[in-house]
Structure 1
Amino acid sequence: MRLRNKPWAQDKIDHYSKIVVPNPENWKGRWKEVFGNDNPIHIEVGTGKGQFICGMAERYPDINFIGIERQKSIIVSAIDKVADTELDNIHLMNINAIDLKDYFALNEVQRVYLNFSDPWPKNRHEKRRLTFETFLNAYETILIPKGEVHLKTDNQYLFEYSLYSFSKYEMLIQNISLDLHRSAWSGNVMTEYEEKFSAIGNRIYRCEAVYRGKD
């Protein structure tokens, strides 16, 4: 789906500099200074319109959340949601996730969320999938030892591919759900896409992948 161009998006991003962190590379290794505390940091890669990250920040006030979205025309909607919450444990970044290691230091993040990522179904686009090995390497670099990646999607192919990719990277896969909304899983915070897809009967797939760490 082609995104509608919003020529005013950059101006809005600049205006809300307290929400969308400007020059985030300057805070590499210093994100606790941005939040003003030593709480754990969780990031959502591809935060979309911000419903999930806002819901999580509200539910878990003792965790700092950073939503990452590279599309300016999308992140402006997330800005509105964050502003409405008036929470101080959430920020946004308008960057490309492939460059995560430029913005976070070694072991600076505790968890990564991947929610309804673009499946990039064509084989020639495999390297763009957020569970491809280069992304898994980036997450491992910024995560604490035995840090976690939590994945949700309605795309069966992407889910199966991700399970294979996690396994190939020798990660421990746990809490697998092949139909999340018909499972006993509790505490789920839905995204906009999740609400839309589940309403029309699509299965929601979920799992957690844990890096084994160095002994």
Structure 2
Amino acid sequence: MRLRKKSWARPELEKDPKVILNPWEQKGKWQKFLGNDHPIHVELGCGRGRFISELAGRHTEINYLALDLYDELLIQVLRKANENHLSNICVIPVNIQNSGNIFAQDEIQRIYINFCNPWPNKRHHKRRLTHPNFLRLYQSFLSKGAEIWFKTDNELLFTDSLDYFQATGYQELYRTYDLQQSDFPGNIMTEYEEKFCSQGIKIKFAIFRILKNHKTDHVLM
């Protein structure tokens, strides 16, 4: 998806305290920064924010962090949070491969990965957010027993990801190849999900639990 650059997006983001422009300063201190001891859930690649905004509205007892590289998307997340008076969302402009620089061991209890780029070319597989390199990165800041919830429309990415999770020490808790026809309760549709479903594309979904921690300073470059 190619985004049109919006020069006004960054100045608007910079004015709002929900936007964390120097997130590495909070590494190891996120709960103190957020002012409570609530669990912290992270969406990696938040799109236009429909998913995380609805989630935050349903679960005010959880802190949500929306990570994305593009100001043009994050500004829409921020506006949704403000329009819905959501105080439990923060927006973080960051490259996801640098997430290990902003979170310390055991700080995060859940990650959401929704419709990430499938990178179908084999030489680009290392860029997938479910590739073992990334899964090991997440282990550096996920707490023991934390979960990753993963959705995609791409069957090859889903199949490969099942192997990735198994190979890196995650336990599969749930799997469906057709989320809309499954027994999974309370699903929140993303913008992409609604589009794909309208085209008759089945949504693949799985939940994984981390079984052990890897205390490491591993950072992707």
Question: One fold, TM greater than 0.5?
Answer: yes
Question: What is the CA distance between 1:176 and its match in structure 2?
Answer: 0.2
- Taking the TM superposition and a 5 Å limit, the aligned residue runs for 1:137-176 are 137-176=136-175
Consecutive unaligned residues of structure 2, counting only runs of 5 or more, are 214-221
CA contact (8 A) 1:140 1:147 kept: no
Paired residue type of 1:119: P
Which residue does the alignment assign to 1:190?
Answer: 189
Which residue does the alignment assign to 1:111?
Answer: 110
- Cα distance in 1 between the residues matched to 2:7 and 2:131: 32
Paired residue type of 1:140: Q
CA contact (8 A) 2:81 2:87 kept: no
Percent of residue pairs identical: 38
Post-superposition CA distance 1:145-181 (Å, at most 9, x none): 1211110111111111110111111311121011000
Q: Could you list the runs of 4 or more consecutive aligned residues of structure 1 that deviate by over 2 angstroms after TM superposition?
A: none
Secondary structure at the aligned position of 2:189 is classed as: coil
Paired residue type of 2:206: C
Which residue does the alignment assign to 2:75?
Answer: 76
CA contact (8 A) 2:169 2:212 kept: no
Question: What is the CA distance between 1:88 and its match in structure 2?
Answer: 1.2
- Taking the TM superposition and a 5 Å limit, the aligned residue runs for 1:200-211 are 200-211=199-210
CA contact (8 A) 1:54 1:82 kept: yes
- Cα distance in 1 between the residues matched to 2:87 and 2:33: 10
- Cα distance in 2 between the residues matched to 1:186 and 1:57: 17
CA contact (8 A) 1:44 1:67 kept: yes
Question: What is the CA distance between 1:21 and its match in structure 2?
Answer: 1.1
RMSD over aligned Cα, in angstroms? 1.2
Question: What is the CA distance between 1:58 and its match in structure 2?
Answer: 0.8
Query: TM (normalized to structure 2)?
Result: 0.93
Question: What is the CA distance between 1:205 and its match in structure 2?
Answer: 0.5
Paired residue type of 1:189: I
- Taking the TM superposition and a 5 Å limit, the aligned residue runs for 1:20-59 are 20-59=19-58
Secondary structure at the aligned position of 1:164 is classed as: helix
Which residue does the alignment assign to 2:120?
Answer: 121
Secondary structure at the aligned position of 1:5 is classed as: coil
Question: What is the CA distance between 1:34 and its match in structure 2?
Answer: 2.6
What count of residue pairs does the alignment treat as equivalent? 213
Which residue does the alignment assign to 1:11?
Answer: 11
- Cα distance in 1 between the residues matched to 2:54 and 2:23: 23
Secondary structure at the aligned position of 2:136 is classed as: helix
Question: What is the CA distance between 1:105 and its match in structure 2?
Answer: 0.8
- Cα distance in 2 between the residues matched to 1:137 and 1:85: 35
Which residue does the alignment assign to 1:86?
Answer: 85
Query: TM (normalized to structure 1)?
Result: 0.95
Secondary structure at the aligned position of 2:140 is classed as: helix
Question: What is the CA distance between 1:106 and its match in structure 2?
Answer: 0.7
Paired residue type of 2:77: A
- Cα distance in 2 between the residues matched to 1:202 and 1:19: 35
Paired residue type of 1:160: T
- Cα distance in 2 between the residues matched to 1:32 and 1:106: 13
CA contact (8 A) 1:19 1:83 kept: no
- Cα distance in 1 between the residues matched to 2:59 and 2:136: 27
